[in-house]
Structure 1
Amino acid sequence: MRLLCRGAEADIYLGERSGREAVIKVRRARAYIDASLDARLRHARTIREAQMISAVKALGVPAPLVLDVDVRRHTIAMQRIRGTVVGTMCSSRLAAACAGIGRIAARLHRGGIVHGDMTTSNFVASRGRLFVLDLGLSSRTRRDEDCAVDLRLFKETLNSAHAADARESWRSFASAYAPALGRQRFARVSRTLADIEARGRYATVT
């Protein structure tokens, strides 16, 4: 296996499963946590992530196919999606991709799921479709505040990683998200987002 990157709680490798190219996520042991507690947490989070990938796919949202789950080793092997990460796109493509992310976010939120790490790095355009990646922090919830936190993080990402295109990209996202979520609920989520921003001054694009 070849190490692709190291995250906060897991290492991501490129390998294979059953002759197929695979991305393999390995949750690392953490020395600062009691070993038995850490093992239980990694076990639970590995199972939950696999379940959330299945739940997202059941909503009709493109996501990698789970090829293998090894709860003893705290690993998930997933189909590798070859394409362009939205976070690396040029300005001319970014706004359209953000509209696609808005539609996906609405479908997740209507289905009672929040992503938990909604950044442009966690979406890949491949063969005319937009895939959602890294559901390790996703959860089931229908609370407007949880949906607003997803949106707040996305706005923060636009501000920090795509500052020159942040305003247009956010408008593209919101213009697609609102009708897909439903205007009444969008109004509630938007009010909650404004409250969060007022409390913490998180994001600035409008």
Structure 2
Amino acid sequence: MTVLELLDYAGVAVFAATGALSASRKQIDIIGFLFLALVTGVGGGTLRDIIIGTLPVFWVNNPVYIVVCITVGLIVFFTAHLVESRYRLLLWFDAIGLSAYCVMGAAKGLSVTGSPIIAIVTGVMTASFGGILRDVLADEPSVLLRPEIYITAALIGAAAFTVATLAGTSLIFASVVGTLSAFVVRAGALRFGWCFPVYKPRPGRRPEDVM
């Protein structure tokens, strides 16, 4: 198994776990667990493959990804009650999945298109879309709306991998650099509350001033 395949399976498995943890917080049935695990696990990679035109999408070509999501969903269904703070665990699992998946997404985008810009974009989309779907379907507070850095971590990880690859480093080195870069930024955001300045609302102009 190559390092990219390992990151791919790891990203799918960890994101599937976050989907199942969301299901446990909503106290839904086992089918709901499996559905959220599956959608979260393969959502980002599905969007990536559709956009760059690698069809059928990855889990159609390799149904093992479906088995991984279902297995993880079942494990979480029978063990989630052992975890005291499931939302906190969800966020940390999400950070791990984001770190692995931003590299995998960038690698696939780069190999298909040869464009470093597209590689970074596909890395960000692959790492974030599954979590967005999870939060929407489970009616959880969206990770995108949390104050600490999220998308930027995926962007940094995808960019680090892409730059390292174009610089001629080995695939393993580039993957480690990208994954660690994303995780350090996201972990720092979760641990220390790293965030960008937020928009400060200002009074709007009166209609008569616009005329």
* Class of the TM-score when normalised by the shorter of the 2 chains: 0.3 to 0.5
| Larger helix proportion of the pair | 2
Larger relative strand fraction: 1
In the superposition, the TM-score normalised over structure 2's length comes to 0.32
Choose between structure 1 and 2 for higher RCO, CA contacts under 8 A separated by at least 6 residues: 2
TM-score normalised by the chain length of structure 1: 0.32
Larger radius of gyration: 2
